[in-house]
Amino acid sequence: MFSSSVPVFLLRFLMPLFKTPAVILHTLPYGESDQIVTFYTLDFGKMKGMAKGAKRSRKRFGSRLEIASYVKVTFFEKETSNLVRLSNCDLIRPFEGLREDIRKLAWASYFIELVNEMTAEKIQNKPLFRLLVAFLTFIDRGSLKEEVLRIFEIRFLSCLGYQPQLDPCIHCQKKLTGERFFFSPVKGGVVCSACAPSLPDLIPVSLGTLKTLLLAHTLPLEKVSRISFSPQSLKESRALLSSFLQQYLGKELKSKKFLEQINGNAEFGMRNSE
Ligand SMILES: [Zn+2]
């Protein structure tokens, strides 16, 4: 409808403007002065937009386009492009703590990359948006305990409709009894000891871990950072959630490797870091 040569300051008067809270997921330099920005919004899910002049002049967007910034974006759609045009970006919360501590940044990057990799564009998911903001806030304030990673993973999967079935047995559908259970990443749920011999690639999981994960999943968001897992539950839930996420991701995330390096070893020995 409008020529692409119409200056941006005029276009914003001609096209409907949308305003929504968003978290910046990714930025990519484009040409000499622009940036392509991927952001997760409250109202429209994941979106991609062009920020004209973002590289050349920091006046208009400044540091607000940094990864994990919590902002309010203003944009309009362009008929000639799949990308929306960002016309403004106001800071809601800077999450300064994330930029001052490389470990916090590593944790935040993991959440951000999970969201970026596992969501499609323009599908509204308000619970997922709120989950991301809540967990970035926990880390920003210093909640660096491994439980926070595991709770994010299980609630994130649930927001996407991939909630693992923790009871009854996913194979025979009988209520779980006894003490020995297994988790099937392929089937996405817990398997009883009677069904276990007939299924491949199972991960042993204790009743304590199942109860902990259920609590992690159902407790109100504002209370989840207070949950403590036993060492055994941490170990089991790490293995279980990692292989389950792998089913959907199909690849190793860069931020996960970085997270493991930052934390010194692949076993996430973070017990002493709280
Ligand atoms: Zn069974």
* pLDDT computed for residue 225 by the predictor: 77
What are the strands of the beta sheet with 189-192, ordered from one edge?
Answer: 189-192, 180-184, 203-206
pLDDT score for 9: 65
**How far, in Å, from the CA of 190 to the mean position of ligand 1?**
8
Q: What is the mean pLDDT of residues 168-176?
A: 95
Longest dimension (CA), the chain: 70
| Banded model confidence at residue 57, pLDDT cuts 50, 70, 90 | low
Ligand 1 centroid to Cα of residue 61, in Å, is 55
Q: Find the 216 Cα to ligand 1 centroid distance in Å.
A: 24
CA–centroid distance, 182 to ligand 1, in Å, is 10
| Cα(181) to centroid(ligand 1), Å | 9
The chain-wide mean pLDDT, for the chain, equals 89
263 to each of 17, 29, 53, 169, 244, how far by Cα in Å? 43, 30, 37, 35, 22
| CATH (residue range 8-94) | 2.40.50.140
What average pLDDT does this structure show over 59-87?
88
Distance 169 CA to ligand 1 centre (A): 5
The residues with which 49 forms a beta bridge, in sequence order, are 37, 84
Domain boundaries, the chain: 8-94, 100-273
pLDDT reading at 270 higher than 70 = no
199 C-alpha vs ligand 1 centroid, how far in Å? 10
CATH architecture for segment(s) 100-273: Up-down Bundle (1.20)
Establish whether domains 8-94 and 100-273 are of one fold: no
> What spacing in Å lies between the alpha carbon of 174 and ligand 1's midpoint?
6
Using the predicted structure, report yes or no on whether residue 221 has a pLDDT greater than 90: no
